[in-house]
A and B are shown apart, each in its own frame.
Chain A
Amino acid sequence: EVQVVESGGGLVQSGGSLRLSCAASGFTFSSHEMIWVRQAPGKGLEWVSYISSSGESITYADSVRGRFTISRDNARNSLYLQMNSLRAEDTAVYYCVRDGRTAPGTFRRFDYWGPGTLVTVSS
């Protein structure tokens, strides 16, 4: 069974740091691109960051570029999001999401989402 499960959320003061982890199982993690998506309380969804299957290609939303770092360890089937200089507006549930496509040029399908981990930044 395919699963992705986030961890590492919590309460942090403004300006602080957190590292989120996402443990993947039930599929060949090293073959899949991954993204992080967040959702502020009562709000819509916001894409945060992307990483290719090898980790060589990375991109970020403008709102987090320079503060957040995405990475992965394919040997450990794990995805990470290092969040520095946190702000109140970063308060959200953070989701780890698999891109289900397995070949370049085919349509992306963000088919497995973790349950999310809540990050609360106090000002």
Chain B
Amino acid sequence: EIVMTQSPAILSVSPGERATLSCRASQNVNSNLAWFQQSPGQAPRLLIYAASARATGIPARFSGSGSGTEFTLTISGLQSEDFALYFCLQHNNWPLSFGGGTKVEIK
């Protein structure tokens, strides 16, 4: 099973600043990596698929990069609705596996 490790667990950022979230895979997942945002009480929402492709309707301030074992989600110019929980997911191998999440909170 591929283990996905996200860091940091909590990220404190001021509105308008940039947030950089990391996701590391225990083995090569190529570009089979997605990022999701989850606000309290809501279902996750797809932000990024194929490591760097924005999903439909996702603002350009969200960008993904990386391949292999190291991935990054960057949120430029944080807005109030961006303070939430973020998960990465690898779908290169079964079983699919999620990272433990990064909570982006207001500094």
Contact = CB atoms under 8 A, between A and B. Distances in A.
Interface residues of B, number: 25
Contacts of A95: 43-44
B98 interface: yes
A47 B46 contact: no
A46 B98 contact: yes
Contacts of A108: 32, 34, 49, 91
A109 B98 contact: no
Given A107-B32, A107-B50, A108-B91, A47 B98 contact: yes
How many chain A residues sit at the interface, stated as a range, is 10 to 19
Nearest to B100: A44
Interface in B67-107: 87, 89, 91, 94-101
Interface string B52-69: 010110000000000000
Contact of A113 (B43, B94, B99, B101): B43
Nearest to A65: B95
A107 B94 contact: no
A119 B56 CA distance: 31
Contacts of A46: 98
Contacts of A11: none
Contact of A110 (B31, B89, B101): B89
B18 interface: no
A45 interface: yes
A109 B46 contact: yes
A97 B100 CA distance: 19
10 contacts: A44-B98, A47-B97, A47-B98, A59-B95, A107-B53, A109-B50, A109-B53, A111-B49, A113-B44, A116-B43
